[in-house]
Amino acid sequence: MFADLTVSEMKAVRAYLHEIPEMKLTDARSKSLKKNSILLMELHLPRKHEALRALDRGHAKPPRQARVVIMFGNQIKPNITEYIVGPIPFPNYHEVKTFKGSKPVLFESRPITNVEYAHLENKLEEIATKAQKLIYESTGGFSYTNCTNRCLTFSDIAPRGLAPGQRRTWIMLQKFVEGYFIHPIGFEVLINHQDLDPDKWTVEKVWYNSMYFDSVEELIDKYESGEVEKFQLPVHDDNDLYSTYVPRGQSNTPTNIHGPKLVEPQGHRYHINHNFVEYFGWSFAYRVRSSAGLQVFDLRFNGERIAYEISLQEAIAFYSGDTPAAMQTKYIDAGWAMGRSTYELAPGIDCPEIATFIDLHHYFDTDKPVLHKNALCIFEMTTAMPLRRHFNSNFQGGYNFFGGLENTVLVMRTA
């Protein structure tokens, strides 16, 4: 009942929706922004009272349904609409999902897609080409195009505007080195990409060396005429970056031998059946929804329900700084479908080698389900602390009794 959509179920829902003539759905990866396409597909959870009737009273399980978010860009009034599609695996109906207040989501507030990113990159190439000399001199030889091993990349911010209906993004250029996100070069641009025709996108502001300009051309003219103070970033050592993940410095203890490892002398003490997990007296079902990530359902101990649902809902990061991009960044991660960012976990790093690794499938900004291999792990580990311990001294150099209980926990993890 709580299991994520399978690959075949996702394909069935997509096929059903694409066969509805009035929707005029096209591929999500087609280059046009003026199109109708599926953005997100995931399990639509049954209502709690319906699920409890099935879990506690033996009633029939509610029919499986999919939650589908469609971006209708090829309409007189572009909009984002959510549908409930069912029954799965053989869908034959769809209905609009309504919300309290019935306030529509502005199309300008939609999540950004790979296709829109591609158009932004094209616009950024155009900007960087105009400012090639300035960027090259300021960074000590880095460029955004034709850069070989001294390349620049970018980060974009959200929200994309300060008022409803806006869609404009500050983009900062950074050195494309390890830990590039803390290697900004001091060059940022504000791009208005509200229009569904990328050819009509405009640059509204440019920020360079703590100064604002109304266009790239204005910056270049003032740079060449000496009206703008030129600067050059300090030359960094490619072999000794402060942002590297490679350990540095000397240690007085051995670092060339393996550290402690978890072992299971007699195998797993937990049991997994599809998305249902049992561990001693504990049991629960899980899923990893594409929009927001890990969820646990029907958590019980010795048959008694402790919680119906424990789940991640949102992650928000507020940034600050002295650049326009930094000071306006407020990431709301569900807008990037943070659940589908569960990529492969590394044995021995993200999870112990003894862990059970599980594949996941997501459908976001794609035309077919995408496999995320080994994206979830489950394992048991010791806490290296006793759950309880008591030493009863006889105050004569001995003891009356000693008691202790090892403490272990079950861990379920995604990246």
Amino acid 397: pLDDT: 87
H or E element in which residue 367 lies: none
Residue 296 identity? V
Tokens of 321: 């700084």
- pTM, two decimals, is 0.91
Q: What single DSSP character describes residue 342?
A: -
Contacts of 94 (CB under 8 A, 6+ apart): 16, 17, 20, 68, 83, 84, 85
Amino acid 158: pLDDT: 92
Task: Catalogue all structural domains in the chain, each as residue range(s) with its CATH number.
Answer: 7-105 (3.10.450.40), 114-225 (3.10.450.40), 270-414 (no CATH)
Q: How many CA atoms lie within 13 A of 71 on its CB side?
A: 26
Tokens of 362: 């997501």
Find how far residue 327's CA is from the centre of its chain.
22
> Are the beta carbons of 117 and 39 closer than 8 angstroms?
no
Residue 224 identity? E
Query: pLDDT (tens digit, 0 to 9) for every residue of the chain, 415 residues total?
Result: 999 999 999 999 999 999 999 999 999 999 999 999 999 999 999 999 999 999 999 999 999 999 999 999 999 999 999 999 999 999 999 999 988 877 788 999 999 999 999 999 999 999 999 999 999 999 999 999 988 889 999 999 999 998 999 999 999 999 999 999 999 999 999 999 999 999 999 999 999 999 999 999 999 999 999 999 899 999 888 888 889 988 888 888 988 898 999 999 999 999 999 999 999 999 999 999 999 999 999 999 999 999 999 999 999 999 999 999 999 999 999 988 999 998 999 999 999 999 999 999 999 999 999 999 999 999 999 999 999 999 898 898 888 989 999 999 999 999 8
Amino acid 236: pLDDT: 81
Give, in order, the Cα–Cα distances in Å from 141 to each of 134, 225, 319, 391: 10, 21, 29, 68
Closest CA relative to residue 322, chosen from 230, 210, 169? 210
Pairwise CA distance, residues 271 & 276, whole Å: 8
H or E element in which residue 211 lies: strand 211-213
Amino acid 289: pLDDT: 96
Tokens of 41: 């597909």
**Angle, alpha carbons 397-403-406 (nearest 5°):** 130
Contacts of 377 (CB under 8 A, 6+ apart): 345, 350, 351, 355, 356, 357, 358, 411, 412, 413, 414
Q: Mind giving me the DSSP string for 60-121?
A: PPPPEEEEEEEEE-SSSS-EEEEEEEEEETS--EEEEPP-TT-PPPPGGGSPP-HHHHHHHH
